[in-house]
């Protein structure tokens, strides 16, 4: 009997082991399949192809801390703000966290008394000093960006928690520098550049701004990134905007005089739009690399990785003055697996995935991942349209083509609710379920107008899909009542940039046009991304 039990135990153990192995193999294959459906710059053969991330990751700054690389970007009004990504090789990136959890300085960030589209974090800078990460950014206000505020956030870990300090001074497009003598500076400004000295903790101003540079040949010179290399001070900035170029200023003294040189003026990687604005770093092997953005219209300002060649003390980008398209990967001594920022979400976690950002500070009473486990529940606030609707949950569309699909349960909807899936910017478009007089219909809205309606929807579950392409910058919309057969609905959205410089995004939403509908809810079972 004892021998029989031993044999049975061994057999059960073997079967369990084989099951777990098979399950893990299938899961690994699924993960690899998922990765092939998302843009990756890693060609798997020791080379990469720009852009590094084919979506809206503008105004990049990068640093190296030991063997890890960190990337920070502008996110404007989206919350959380100041997205930070992490990499082991400068090619394969994953989201690591956000420097700003929410904006508390103005009730309009809660959509009370107005809205704050285009405000938030601009032109972020990131540095690491004495065991702390520092993330700085500006928030412009007013006509001509002549007013605003400047913030520094600090944390021991990029995952947080972060502590934010808002300065009384306004430092536009800041570039933070910890000098080797212990002093701290910020280069900032537009067209006319300034240097402001901070106190040793980098949390307050020590010496007010001093003008250091102005040159009519560089209109709208901005996006400063500040370095000290081999005893010289370098300020890297862009001029000319979308069609612009990258400029380098150099001086033996922090306050100048500065000499200048254009270090790249090229649009060959995306004709019509020049490489401009970004930051650089040095690898352990001594090589230098530059992460620089390129405007690709309503899909976003993408980031390209360019090799740096030092010529007579100037960091020249690309190869022979041209940005690289496919090029050998940086030499870090080891090969890392392909990774990409998360997209698809099954909503199985009690915490929101790092790929998601709200259109403003979210209302915590109107969304949950735990009331119905495995679902994202959105409860309706009152709004007249999607632009004014709080708790719109978004993530980046990507190029060159991409699609998003959702499954949504509508059992909890109330009269006045409009809930669905769309592509969000100004203009926006979406497909949705609308409930009026206890009757539901499927609608397609484009630029604020209802283009198509299918009345008397009686199901409890609906599937919506949106596809995006960089060819003509259009988006198309589809619905399904069985999750398998999708039908196109309405007309194409001509994606635009009404909210300047902020790309289009996939969006999940639920709002109510009536008081009666406040609190009505829908449950999103999943969002699935695919690079078409």
Task: Give tens-digit pLDDT for 214-265.
Answer: 999 999 999 999 999 999 999 999 999 899 999 999 999 999 999 999 999 9
**Contact call for residues 408 and 523 (beta carbons, < 8 A):** yes
Decide if pLDDT at 492 tops 60.
yes
Specify whether 222 is catalytic. yes
Give residue for tokens 């509508």: 410
Decide if pLDDT at 24 tops 70.
no
Catalytic residue among 56, 89, 222, 407: 222
Average pLDDT over residues 79-91: 98
Interacting residues of 278 by C-beta distance below 8 A, sequence separation 6+: 59, 60, 61, 62, 223, 225, 236, 246, 290, 291, 292, 293, 303
pLDDT band at 37 (very low <50, low <70, confident <90, very high): confident
Specify whether 59 is catalytic. yes
Q: What tokens appear for 474 in the block? A: 């259009």
pLDDT reported for residue 499: 87
Average pLDDT over residues 77-102: 98
Catalytic residue among 56, 59, 61, 345: 59
Rounded to an integer, what distance in angstroms lies between the CA atom of residue 164 and that of residue 166? Answer: 7
Write the pLDDT tens digit of every residue in 261-314: 999 999 999 999 999 999 999 999 999 999 999 999 999 999 999 999 999 999
Question: E-assigned strands of 88-221?
Answer: 93-100, 122-129, 132-141, 147-155, 163-167, 175-178, 184-190, 192-198, 205-214
pLDDT reported for residue 2: 41
Where do the domains of the chain lie, and which CATH numbers do they carry?
Answer: 47-328 (2.115.10.20), 357-530 (2.60.120.200)
Average pLDDT over residues 366-383: 98
pLDDT reported for residue 503: 96
Kindly report whether the global pTM for this prediction surpasses the value 0.85: yes
pLDDT above 70 covers a percentage of the chain that reads: 93
Decide if pLDDT at 500 tops 90.
no
């Amino acid at each position: 009997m004892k021998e029989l039990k031993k044999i049975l135990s061994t057999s059960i153990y073997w079967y369990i082991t084989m099951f777990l192995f098979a399950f893990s193999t299938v899961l690994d294959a699924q993960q690899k399949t998922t990765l092939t459906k998302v843009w990756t710059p890693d060609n798997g053969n020791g080379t990469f192809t720009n852009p590094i991330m084919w979506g809206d990751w503008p105004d990049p700054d990068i640093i190296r801390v030991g063997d890890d690389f960190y990337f920070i970007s502008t996110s404007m009004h989206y919350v959380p703000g100041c997205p930070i990504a992490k990499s082991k090789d400068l090619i394969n990136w994953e989201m690591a966290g956000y420097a700003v959890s929410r904006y508390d300085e103005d009730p309009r960030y809660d959509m009370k008394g107005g809205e704050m589209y285009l405000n938030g974090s601009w032109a972020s800078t990131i540095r690491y000093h004495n065991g702390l990460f520092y993330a700085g950014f500006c928030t412009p206000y007013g006509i001509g960006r002549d007013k605003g505020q400047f913030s520094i956030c600090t944390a021991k870990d990029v995952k947080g928690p972060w502590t934010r300090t808002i300065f009384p001074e306004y430092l536009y497009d800041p570039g933070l520098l910890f000098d080797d003598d212990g002093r701290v500076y910020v280069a900032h400004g537009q067209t006319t550049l300034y240097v402001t000295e901070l106190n040793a903790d980098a949390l307050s101003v020590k010496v007010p701004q001093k003008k250091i540079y102005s040159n009519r040949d560089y209109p709208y010179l901005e996006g400063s990134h500040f370095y000290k290399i081999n005893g010289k001070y370098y300020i890297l900035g862009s001029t000319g905007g979308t069609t612009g170029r990258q400029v380098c200023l150099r001086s033996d003294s922090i306050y100048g005089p500065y000499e200048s040189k254009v270090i790249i003026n090229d649009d060959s990687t995306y004709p019509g739009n020049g490489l401009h604005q970004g930051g650089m770093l040095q690898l352990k092997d001594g090589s230098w690399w530059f992460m620089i953005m390129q405007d690709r219209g309503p899909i976003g300002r993408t980031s390209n990785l360019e090799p740096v060649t030092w010529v007579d003390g100037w960091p020249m980008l690309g190869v022979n003055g041209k940005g690289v398209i496919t090029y050998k990967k940086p030499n870090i001594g080891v090969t890392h697996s392909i990774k990409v920022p998360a997209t698809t979400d099954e909503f199985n976690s009690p915490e929101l995935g790092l790929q998601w950002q709200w259109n403003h500070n979210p209302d915590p009473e109107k969304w949950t991942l735990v009331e119905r486990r495995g679902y994202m529940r959105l409860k309706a606030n009152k709004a007249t349209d999607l632009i004014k609707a709080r708790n719109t949950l978004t993530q980046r569309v990507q190029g060159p083509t991409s699609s998003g699909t959702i499954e949504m349960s509508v059992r909890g909807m109330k009269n006045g609710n409009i809930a669905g899936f769309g592509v969000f910017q100004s203009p926006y478009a979406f497909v949705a379920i609308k409930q009026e007089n206890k009757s539901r219909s499927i609608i397609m809205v484009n630029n604020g107008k209802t283009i198509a309606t299918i009345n008397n929807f009686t199901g409890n579950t609906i599937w919506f899909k949106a596809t995006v392409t960089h060819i003509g910058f259009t988006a198309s919309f589809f619905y399904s009542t069985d999750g398998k057969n999708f039908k196109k609905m309405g007309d194409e959205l001509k994606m635009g940039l009404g909210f300047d410089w902020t790309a289009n995004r996939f969006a999940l939403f639920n709002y109510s046009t009536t008081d009666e509908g406040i609190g009505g809810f829908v449950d999103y079972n999943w969002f699935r991304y695919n690079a078409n």
